Amino acid sequence: MGRVSAYTRRSRAAPGSPSRSGAATIAPAKAAVLGLAFGWALWSSRVAAAEPAGDEPEGEYHAVVHHAPDDPQATVDRRSPGFATAIDLEDEQGARPADGLAELLARSPGVSARSLGGLGQFSAISIRGSSPQQVAVFLDGVPIGSSMAGLVDLSELPLEALGRAVIYRGIVPVAFGSAAIGGAVNLETRRRCDAPRGRIAAGAGSFSTRQASVSADYPLTQRTCLQAQVGYAGTLGNFRFLDTRDTPLVPDDDVDARRRNNAHDRLLARVAVHGRRGAWRYHGQQLVYVRDQGIAGPATAQARATSLETVSAKTLGGVERRGAFGPGGRAAITAGFGVERRRLLDPLGEVGIAVNDQQTRAFDVFLQPGVRVPLWREAFLEAVVDERVELVRVDERARLPGDSGPSGDARRRRSATGAGVSLEQLALDRRIQLSPALRVDVVYSRFAVAPGEGEQDDAGRDHAAIGVSPRLGLRVRLVDALELRATVGRYFRPPTLAELFGDRGYAVGNEGLVPERGTAADGGFVITHASERLTLRAHVAAFASAATDLIQWIKTAQVIRPVNVARARVAGLESGLSLAALRGDVELTASYTLLDARNLGPEESAHGKQLPGRPRHRLFARAAGGHEFDARGHALAPRLFYTFEYVAGTFLDASERYEVPGRALHGLGVELHVARRLHLAVEARNLLNTRVTTWTPPIEGVGPLPAPISDFIGYPLPGLSVLATLRVDLDLPRPKTRTKGQI
């Protein structure tokens, strides 16, 4: 979209109460929000109908438009006064592992990847020390965290279908909800489709890891494109690790064990269509995902037969009219619909407290209309309204003969209505940007179950909650290469249904959770430089948040469980550097985060202690180098890259008794790109095969003891892992009736 420098107007004219009182409280708010949505929709349609269908509107405004280069980071910097990172995934050349999305996002400042171990296993991200549940993830503007997963497994997403990722740290745009302590990630699918093209990819690696995919982009007309993809990935995950036999203070009985029941197989299919007609843009896609996996359980008590089956389908789409209401304006509507079935089978009672055969069905629908309206010189108003409805049905099949307790069956429902408005005011030749914003969210939950249903002492109840989240952002360009950025605001996050009622064997819910609320602020400097020889972006920022009823996962026995921490403080410092020299032949990415996360609640055993799962230090660096040569008329581009990650130790419990030692891991990889069509990559993770580290217990006279390197809930991570991938890009035949066009 063009960049508007000037225009002139022509001469033409609190946690809720019980269900009944909660409903009474919530009804006026929902009515007001929905009424506002209807008014916006009506206004949008009338204005759109009155304007011509060209790419730029005529009549009301006269604009001078400067087209900026297609730089994702520059686009985000212009629109967001806070700290955000844009990653152009289409520029990531060559074959990539199917689970590589989390690693790509983790190159950004303040972002760390969290895994449950092994190639292709569960992966998510943490931002500024948050839990994965405290990071909202969107796909083309639609929230994709399922009702019963509670968080997004990034290894499930079709990496080859993504074109761009934008990571918002701290305060987020009003379109991405009531915010969270971590931030938000918006993943955008690829829209480039100038010719029929196909891709065939395959890979194999350690622990019987394998992957394969086929995809195609096919222009149906000059302005409409069809995309299709199907992919498979799987692994045995049978890596070796140090088993302390649940006696970490007695190293003499430690053994070298092999991970078992850690295999998975998953299949993903995607069909999408996108295009444009005049000033209109439209897109839609269908995703189907099937996964069958073993649940390995804790390292010291591995399960043999526990499994989890997942089948899900998601439909996403949207329509946008650019230039609505005037230059720089737009009107859009985004929608999503999802269904999911999960079956947790624990026939031997190995992971949970008893035999389990639980089937969960979930339904999720989302709708968000929004507008961006030019007001006066260099000022825009953005407004959105969204509605999300989640339904979950739990069917507990594993009832023992003579069991007279609750059945475990339950039906839960939640509806959330939100509205947000923000002002973008630019001044002094766009050197200053001031962006006040306000978002209001109303959440109505119907969680109470009938007598004889639900869990033992089921705490689910009907209630309403309202969150008000004012925000303010400021950006000042001091000189051409130096900017000051600062944001402050409130946030509100109700617990996910998984945090309330979930059961994935190793993670169980807590029906008594209440929404977390808090105030967050950050500020710092951004340095940018772009020339023919060197592109550089660096930043340093301080951040802090004060939370009430923070939702924190804590290890209890063999499982982890969320609890509300009455008061908590999270503060820190983040820095990042991204450098490309010699026209991209040399690249360097580095980031460091210093974090101080403290429990300030009234419990004496936890007060002042470090919040679990939030390491104090995290350092990441990646260096890559290569060059494209002309080999007898064919492009030949070898490339070498090296990665280093250090994560400090953290704790699993609130009283700092169960420690996860820190780790320092190296990685090395080589790529070869032939004729810009054949892409080969070999990557070695944990290059030094580090499987054992040491920790010092808080006991006088006890020295360092061996411990396995572990993930964020104490599950072991593998040693050296090697994965080789190959991708071939193909030109597909073009029908004679088609003419070449650019989408």
pLDDT of 134 reads 84
Residue 558 lies in a domain: yes
Q: Phi and psi (nearest 5°) for 231? A: -145, 150
Residue 157 lies in a domain: yes
Distance, in Å, from the CA atom of 280 to the CA atom of 324, rounded to the nearest integer, reads 10
pLDDT of 583 reads 86
Distance, in Å, from the CA atom of 201 to the CA atom of 734, rounded to the nearest integer, reads 22
Residue 739 lies in a domain: no
How is residue 427 written in tokens?
A: 């001044």
- CB under 8 Å to 569, separation ≥6 — which residues? 544, 545, 546, 547, 596, 597, 598, 600
Task: State which H helix or E strand residue 574 sits in.
Answer: strand 559-581
Q: What DSSP designation does 207 have?
A: G
How is residue 382 written in tokens?
A: 């953005």
Nearest in space to 161 (alpha carbons), one of 269, 320, 28: 269
Contact (CB, 8 A) for 183 and 173:
no
Q: What does pLDDT average to in each consecutive run of 10 residues of the chain (743 residues)?
A: 35 38 44 45 40 37 37 82 87 68 85 69 81 87 72 78 88 83 87 87 93 92 92 92 87 90 93 93 95 86 89 95 90 95 88 80 94 92 95 79 66 92 92 94 87 69 90 93 94 86 73 90 93 91 94 79 92 93 92 94 90 91 93 90 92 83 93 92 94 85 86 83 93 66 48
Task: State which H helix or E strand residue 28 sits in.
Answer: helix 19-50
Distance, in Å, from the CA atom of 398 to the CA atom of 274, rounded to the nearest integer, reads 46
The count of structural domains within the chain is 1
CA-to-CA separations, 732 to 219, 268, 704, in angstroms, rounded:
11, 22, 61
- CB under 8 Å to 155, separation ≥6 — which residues? 98, 99, 101, 102, 120, 121, 122, 123, 233
Which residue range forms the structural domain that includes residue 536?
3-731
Residue 447 corresponds to which amino acid? F
Beta bridge partners, 211, equal: 203, 233
Contact (CB, 8 A) for 105 and 87:
yes
CA-to-CA separations, 605 to 596, 609, 610, 611, 714, in angstroms, rounded:
18, 8, 11, 12, 21
How is residue 398 written in tokens?
A: 């594993």
Question: How many other CB atoms are there within 10 angstroms of residue 743's CB atom?
Answer: 18
pLDDT of 679 reads 93
Question: How many other CB atoms are there within 10 angstroms of residue 639's CB atom?
Answer: 19
pLDDT of 578 reads 92
Long-range Cβ contacts of 12-15 (<8 Å, 24+ apart): 12/59, 12/60, 14/465, 14/466, 15/463, 15/465, 15/514, 15/515
Residue 90 corresponds to which amino acid? E
Residue 672 corresponds to which amino acid? L
pLDDT of 688 reads 95
CA-to-CA separations, 94 to 160, 669, 681, in angstroms, rounded:
10, 12, 7
Residue 738 lies in a domain: no
Q: 3-state SS of the chain: helix, strand, coil percent to 5?
A: 10, 55, 35
Beta bridge partners, 104, equal: none
Secondary structure, 3-state, 301-364: CCCCCCEEEEEEEEEEEEEEEECCCCCCCEEEEEEEEEEEEEEEEECCCCCCCCCEEEEEEEEE
Quote the distance between the C-alpha of residue 646 and its chain's center.
Answer: 22
Beta bridge partners, 597, equal: 570
Distance, in Å, from the CA atom of 19 to the CA atom of 250, rounded to the nearest integer, reads 53
Residue 225 lies in a domain: yes
Distance, in Å, from the CA atom of 508 to the CA atom of 86, rounded to the nearest integer, reads 34
Residue 646 lies in a domain: yes
Q: Phi and psi (nearest 5°) for 719? A: -80, -140
Exposed/middle/buried for 392, CB within 10 Å: 0-12, 13-18, 19+?
Answer: buried
Distance, in Å, from the CA atom of 305 to the CA atom of 261, rounded to the nearest integer, reads 7
Beta bridge partners, 730, equal: 198
Buried b (16+ CB within 10 A) or exposed e, 56-84: ebeebbebeeeeeeeebbbbbbbbbbbbb
CATH of the domain at 575: 2.40.170.20
DSSP string, 126-186: EETT--GGGEEEEETTEE---TTT-S--GGGS-GGGEEEEEEEESS--GGGTT--SSEEEE
Quote the distance between the C-alpha of residue 400 and its chain's center.
Answer: 40
Distance, in Å, from the CA atom of 421 to the CA atom of 151, rounded to the nearest integer, reads 26
Residue 656 corresponds to which amino acid? E
Residue 618 lies in a domain: yes
Nearest in space to 206 (alpha carbons), one of 164, 237, 245: 237
- CB under 8 Å to 118, separation ≥6 — which residues? 207, 209, 235, 237, 239, 259, 262, 717, 718, 721
Q: Phi and psi (nearest 5°) for 153? A: -85, 105
Contact (CB, 8 A) for 204 and 233:
no
pLDDT of 657 reads 81
